């Protein structure tokens, strides 16, 4: 069993006492109020796994509130989300993030010189919910709504390291094994076959990069489960594209010391699967790569060019094929169902992302991000309160 510590402190689940941690969070509830943000797609409101998730969250008595962040143009879907919120025993609020009244407030912000009106998607919903949550929560956790193997320990494990006064972490990030134990399959292809090998190849090409070393210290960089101090959250620029996870890690690199970041073992993890051939996964890969290039340009002053991208593509392909051989051996020894040909096809698709994403970056190396909340508040001091009052039905 891996018990190593790297630059980022790792909290392994060798003998975690989840009941003790939950009780401790309950003791600290008034002093350090904590919450949970769940961004949800309108298509996920009827997700068959949601009742189990709500049932488990209801056992987390230490949570002051849950915020469901939803964008929809259909009032009926908002009504469905409101109905869903009534199943929570923990106080639950639905933030309608693209409600006309919310859009009007953001139009006013545009006139102040900060334009987020053209942006939409999960990143923007998280941004709005984060601003609202920071008004009265000391810290909050964030995770998606499609976790098949969800249990009550997830928010507990995420929140405990940053709320327990004996520790000194500002942010915790989940990591896990993406395995379907029922069907004996390995998942997490984007992390296994793209981000992991890509970071290795970039590190070789640059010979040494502090930023890449930092990213390689995370066991699962693409994990979207985090918990963070509200104060730190107001300093972070949240990416609006599909590279949200890598973008957040890049922001943490700029805003937090290594010793204040930890990662927490969330165990074996399963959620709704998409193939790499799914457009959204290729978009995630492309946007993550663009974020990598942008951050490396800022921190390491690299020069991105077509020859650089082609060289990177060739080296990535070689290393990712080596990884496939390793995962094939892992699957054989663990009696997993492993389609080596499919993994090779996935690598071919991901290989193309290096050129498409790289050229996309060259066309627009300075891409607008959602502003951090400190800047937003300086432009419109009461914006968080106004968004809360309009987005959430009281």
Q: How far apart are the first and last CA of the chain?
A: 49
Delineate the domains of the chain, giving CATH numbers in brackets: 9-391 (3.90.550.10)
Q: What is the structure's pLDDT at 270? A: 63
Q: What is the structure's pLDDT at 212? A: 95
Q: Is residue 375 a contact partner of residue 109, using CB atoms and an 8 Å limit?
A: no
Q: What is the structure's pLDDT at 271? A: 59
Handedness of CA 235, 135, 40, 114 (dihedral sign): negative
Q: What is the structure's pLDDT at 186? A: 87
Q: What is the structure's pLDDT at 275? A: 55
* CA nearest neighbour of 7 among 201, 218, 204, 168: 218
Residues of the chain under the 50 pLDDT cut: none
Q: What is the structure's pLDDT at 267? A: 87
| 313-338 tens-digit pLDDT | 999 999 999 999 999 999 999 999 99
Q: What is the structure's pLDDT at 17? A: 96
Q: What is the structure's pLDDT at 171? A: 95
| 229-246 tens-digit pLDDT | 999 999 999 888 777 888
E strands in 246-390? 261-269
């Amino acid at each position: 069993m891996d018990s190593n510590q790297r630059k980022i402190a790792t909290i392994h689940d060798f003998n975690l006492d989840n009941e003790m941690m939950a009780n401790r969070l309950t003791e600290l509830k008034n002093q350090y109020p904590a919450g949970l943000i769940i961004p949800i797609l309108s298509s996920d409101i009827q997700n068959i796994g949601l009742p189990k998730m709500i049932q488990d969250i209801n056992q987390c008595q230490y949570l002051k509130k849950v915020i469901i962040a939803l964008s929809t143009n259909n009032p009926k879907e908002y009504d469905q989300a409101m109905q869903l919120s009534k199943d929570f025993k923990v106080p639950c609020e639905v933030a309608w993030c693209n409600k006309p009244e919310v859009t009007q407030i953001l139009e006013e912000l545009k006139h102040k010189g900060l334009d987020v009106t053209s942006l939409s998607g999960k990143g923007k919903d998280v941004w709005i919910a984060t601003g609202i949550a920071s008004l009265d929560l000391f810290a909050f956790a964030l995770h998606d709504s499609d976790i098949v193997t969800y249990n009550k320990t997830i928010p507990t494990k995420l929140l405990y390291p940053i709320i327990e006064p004996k520790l000194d972490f500002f942010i915790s990030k989940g990591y896990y094994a993406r395995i379907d134990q029922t069907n004996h399959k390995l998942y997490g292809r984007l992390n296994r076959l793209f981000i992991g090998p890509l970071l290795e190849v970039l590190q070789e090409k640059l010979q040494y990069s502090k930023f890449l070393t930092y990213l390689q210290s995370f066991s699962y960089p693409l994990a979207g489960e985090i918990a963070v101090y509200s104060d730190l959250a107001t300093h972070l620029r949240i990416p609006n594209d599909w590279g949200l996870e890598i973008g957040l890690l890049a922001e943490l690199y700029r805003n937090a010391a290594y010793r204040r970041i930890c990662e927490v073992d969330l165990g074996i993890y399963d959620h709704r699967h998409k193939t790499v051939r799914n457009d959204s996964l290729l978009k995630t890969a492309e946007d993550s790569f663009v974020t990598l290039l942008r951050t490396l340009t800022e921190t390491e002053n690299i020069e991105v060019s077509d020859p650089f991208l082609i060289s990177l593509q060739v080296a990535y392909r070689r290393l990712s094929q080596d990884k496939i051989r390793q995962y094939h051996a892992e699957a054989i020894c663990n009696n997993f169902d492993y389609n080596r040909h499919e993994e090779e096809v996935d690598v071919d698709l991901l290989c193309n992302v290096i050129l498409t994403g790289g050229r996309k970056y060259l066309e627009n190396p300075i891409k607008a991000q959602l502003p951090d909340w400190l800047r937003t508040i300086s432009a419109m001091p009461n914006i968080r309160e106004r968004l809360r009052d309009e987005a959430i039905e009281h």
